[in-house]
Amino acid sequence: MKRRVTLKDVAAQAGVTYQTVSKVINGRARVLPATEARVWSATRELGYRPNHSARSLRAQRSLMIGYSWVPTRPDQTNHILDMFLTSMVEEAEAAGYHLLPFPYREDSDQVSAYGELIDAARVDGFVISSVNYDDPRVAYLQERQVPFVAFGRIAASQHSAYVDVDGAAGLRLATTHLLELGHRRIAVLAWPPGSRVGDERIGGYFDALTAAGLGPDPAWVARGPGTFEFGLAATNEWLAGSAPARPTAIVALNDIQAVGAMHAALGLGRTPGQQISIIGFDDSPMDQYLWPPLTSVAQPIRAAGRKCVEMLVGLLRAQAPPETQVLLAPELVVRGSTGPCPS
Amino acid sequence: MKRRVTLKDVAAQAGVTYQTVSKVINGRARVLPATEARVWSATRELGYRPNHSARSLRAQRSLMIGYSWVPTRPDQTNHILDMFLTSMVEEAEAAGYHLLPFPYREDSDQVSAYGELIDAARVDGFVISSVNYDDPRVAYLQERQVPFVAFGRIAASQHSAYVDVDGAAGLRLATTHLLELGHRRIAVLAWPPGSRVGDERIGGYFDALTAAGLGPDPAWVARGPGTFEFGLAATNEWLAGSAPARPTAIVALNDIQAVGAMHAALGLGRTPGQQISIIGFDDSPMDQYLWPPLTSVAQPIRAAGRKCVEMLVGLLRAQAPPETQVLLAPELVVRGSTGPCPS
């Protein structure tokens, strides 16, 4: 690497002492305005930049924000990571920070990855995601008194800052869309109880049915992993029933389950959007390429990424942030997989 | 944040002077073994960790690796980013480094983002991707003498370290698979000439045809953007021709073009894998969920991410890396969209 321009170089160029340059640059100038101007013009001419490590050591800040994510299975994709990271990286840079991504560790080890970064003073705070009930990271970061913002809801009793997308509102939108298309036998592909995200989302399905005066039929609530295989198997079982026992529409807690449902229907010669309606959740980029394209609930991921960093920077600057709990509204993207209830 | 444990705390706990602790911790110990042991056990008891900024300032290193990526269009996905970042982050951590992602800037501004990080000594080197012919970042980083490794080939004349996937080998695999299934009229959905990746990939298509004694027919080479719309339009045009002028198989330079081709075929009642065979490139996670699932060329992205960081760390440690140009082999993943040539 080329030799860096140092304070001494600037001093020589400006014809002043090293100490004078240091005072001017660190904003503790008690020097004549003309001298100060000479110093600044020398820094510009030489392209001087303060050394980050020195600056952060003086400030006792790293100007870094830690972030870790759960790696996806090799055959899956985390289609929101690109959007979430890009929006966080941009918002951080605008505030003079950088993001420090670090590897996810399983279970009990997970908290130690956070502890090591805190101990080594490599980060000033964290954005955490994939937050679940009793997430050990929340208690740990509170105990260490390190600022953080969660992408995902945290119990109100914990008084922590979070940004979340209203999953219940998403399922209400999806279920209401099906009701408006005339469907009454609406099944749901859900996850096992006990996941924060899953419990919130399915709540919206129940809300919409109740509001329409329909009692949810337990036979039309299938709970299992958020996989293609589960969506396929559960839908095959529903469609094997007699006509009055078959749902005319299916809403899923994620896109992958919905794609499994589509394959089950297609395999039985039932075209989604015609003989059966299917809705996913996530609005994965693949949805537009499916046959037919999949109606899905879209989350405002870029807005969430920006908001997480904006709130964290507010905490780091010890400003009371204007909001500490932000709930963003999802949107329904209607495509070819939903249509009027067949009579 | 809780007060950090300092050298002074360790000194008090160990009953030695601050200077003694500093010497032991920085490996310049000229103290009795028993004293040294007391210092180390005090650091463990108190949970002392050296401050990263102080350590990197002493070492004149940031222990950070810069990386920036081209953001995808809002309706697209960068399905390799998760795998590429995860593998780099893990490999970096194992070597005592962290990744520093920074926002991509367009065109002439692009190089300035790299310059600012170098000037502020925030990174020790870079991994660069989306490398094209005459990439301005290559010349810039060489001139600044900052170590970097490219994911994507660099002209041999530039003597720079790179990791790449052999795109020509990928198209050879795909085209050969179609030849083995009995296809002779094989069309290609390609990109406009002049992109490094596109030119390499299509070379493999020509190679395989030539090796099979078939002269490529210019009518079956469609060049346009790597989009769904282009794949759809070009395939519709091919399939509108008279039977002898219609290709029985189509290979595409990326999955999105291939999905456009599938929709064109399905729209005309021709099922991929039966009346027509179609192959994509990228092995996007969505490929398994398409109807029928798409045969595609898979790139070893995790291996590429690990290799980029491993080679860069070698350069940063001023070791001559064992290899400076690494070409990884892709694999063909055969699914339902390809089948025997219909007679």
Superfamily of the domain at B167-298: Response regulator (3.40.50.2300)
More reliable by pLDDT, B45 or B178:
B178
Check residue A137 and give its pLDDT. Answer: 92
Task: Specify the higher pLDDT residue, B343 or B279.
Answer: B279
Q: Do B50 and A120 touch (CB under 8 A)?
A: yes
d(CA A86, CA B102): 8
**Mutation for B interface: A111, A227, A286, A337, most B CBs within 10 A:** A286
Answer CATH for A64-165+300-329 from 2.30.30.360, 3.10.129.10, 3.40.50.2300, 3.10.20.600: 3.40.50.2300
Residue B234 has pLDDT above 90, yes or no: yes
Q: A85 near A306, Cβ under 8 Å?
A: no
Domain boundaries, chain B: 7-50, 64-165+300-329, 167-298
Q: Do A289 and B228 touch (CB under 8 A)?
A: yes
Nearest to B144 among A2, A102, A121 (CB): A2
Whether the Cβ atoms of residue A220 and residue A239 lie closer than 8 Å to each other: no
Looking at beta carbons, which residues of chain B come within 8 Å of A102?
89, 93, 98
A122–B4: do the CB atoms touch at under 8 Å?
no
- Closest-CA distance, A151 to chain B, in angstroms, reads 18
Q: Residue B82 contacts by C-beta under 8 Å, 6 or more apart in sequence?
A: A69, A71, A72, A77, A78, A81, A82
Higher pLDDT, B44 or A54: B44
> How much of chain A exceeds pLDDT 90, in percent?
58
Q: Collect all residues of chain A within an 8 Å Cβ-Cβ radius of residue B52.
A: 62, 120-122
Q: What is the pLDDT of residue B51?
A: 64
Closest Cβ–Cβ partner in A90, A102, A285 for B103: A90
Which position has the higher pLDDT, B283 or B72?
A: B283
**For chain A, percent of residues with pLDDT exceeding 70:** 91
pLDDT at residue A54, as a whole number:
63
Which of A50, A53, A89 lies closest to B56 in CB terms?
A: A53
User: What is the reported pLDDT for B50?
Assistant: 64
What pLDDT, on a 0 to 100 scale, did the predictor assign at position A317? 85
* Residue from the list A62, A82, A286 with its beta carbon closest to the beta carbon of B81: A82
Q: Which residue in chain A is spatially nearest to B289 when comparing CA positions?
A: A259
CATH classification number, A167-299, choose in 3.30.70.660, 1.10.579.10, 3.40.50.2300, 3.20.20.140: 3.40.50.2300
A75 falls in which pLDDT band (50, 70, 90)? low
If pLDDT is split at 50, 70 and 90, which confidence band does A224 have?
very high
A146 interaction partners in chain B (CB closer than 8 Å): 1
The answer to whether the Cβ–Cβ distance between A291 and B4 falls below 8 Å is no
Whether A33 has a pLDDT exceeding 80, the answer reads no
Answer CATH for B7-50 from 2.30.130.10, 3.20.20.410, 1.10.260.40, 3.40.50.1970: 1.10.260.40
In this predicted structure, the answer to whether residue A27 has a pLDDT above a threshold of 60 is no
More confident call, B1 vs A9 = A9
Write out pLDDT tens, residues B82-109: 889 999 999 999 999 999 999 888 776 7
Shared fold status for B7-50 and B167-298: no
Query: What is the pLDDT at residue A26?
Result: 62
Range scoring the smallest mean pLDDT among A26-35, A238-247, B286-295 = A26-35
Nearest to A49 among B62, B120, B289 (CB): B120
Tokens for B191, please give them.
Answer: 């990109």
The residue of chain A with its CA nearest to that of B257 is: A289
Residue B35 has pLDDT above 90, yes or no: no
* Chain B hits for A145, Cβ within 8 Å: 1-2
Tokens 């209401």 locate to: A176
Report pLDDT digits (tens) over A99-142.
999 988 877 678 999 999 998 889 999 999 988 888 899 999 99
pLDDT score at B322: 63
Determine contact, residues A323/A289, Cβ cutoff 8 Å.
no
Say if residue A47's pLDDT is above 90. Answer: no
- Residues of chain A in contact with residue B83, where contact means CB-CB under 8 angstroms, are 74
* Contact across the interface for A120 and B1, Cβ inside 8 Å: no
| B151-210 per-position pLDDT tens digit | 988 877 777 899 999 999 999 999 999 999 999 999 999 999 988 899 999 999 999 999
Model pLDDT, residue A28: 57
* Placement of tokens 């100490």 in the chain: A19
Start-to-end CA span in chain B (Å)? 74
pLDDT at B34: 78
From the list A53, A118, A286, which residue is nearest B53 (CB)? Answer: A53
Residue B214 to chain A, least CA–CA distance (Å): 33
| pLDDT value, residue B1 | 47
Q: What's the pLDDT band for B7 if we cut at 50, 70, 90?
A: confident
- pTM (two decimals): 0.78
Which residues of B are less than 8 Å from A286 in CB distance? 77, 284-286, 289
CB < 8 Å to B50, chain A:
120
What's the whole-number mean pLDDT along residues B235-244? 93
- The continuous run of DSSP H or E covering B99 comes out as strand B98-101
% of residues, chain B, pLDDT over 70: 91
**What pLDDT, on a 0 to 100 scale, did the predictor assign at position A60?**
66
B102/A89 Cβ within 8 A: yes
Greater model confidence, B235 or B56: B235
Contact B82 A93 (CB under 8 A): no
Chain A residue numbers with beta carbons less than 8 Å from the beta carbon of B4 are 119, 121
Kindly state the average pLDDT of the residues A25-32. Answer: 65
Q: What is the pLDDT of residue B132?
A: 81
Residue A276 predicted with pLDDT over 50 = yes
B289 interaction partners in chain A (CB closer than 8 Å): 228, 256, 259, 263, 286, 290
Read off the pLDDT band of B229 (50, 70, 90). Answer: very high
Alpha helix locations (H) across chain B? 7-14, 18-25, 33-46, 52-59, 81-94, 110-119, 136-144, 167-180, 196-211, 228-240, 255-267, 301-316
- Whether the pLDDT of residue B242 is over 50: the answer is yes
Per-residue confidence (pLDDT) for residue B203, from 0 to 100: 96
Per-residue pLDDT reduced to its tens digit, A174-195: 999 999 999 999 999 999 998 8
Nearest CB partner across the interface for A288, out of B69, B75, B291:
B75
Query: Where residue A79 falls among pLDDT bands split at 50, 70, 90?
Result: confident
Distance from CA of A214 to the nearest CA of B (A): 33
* pLDDT top residue among A76 and A253: A253
Say yes or no for a CB contact (<8 Å) between A82 and B72.
yes
Mean of pLDDT over chain B: 88
Amino acid found at A129: S
Give this complex's ipTM: 0.73
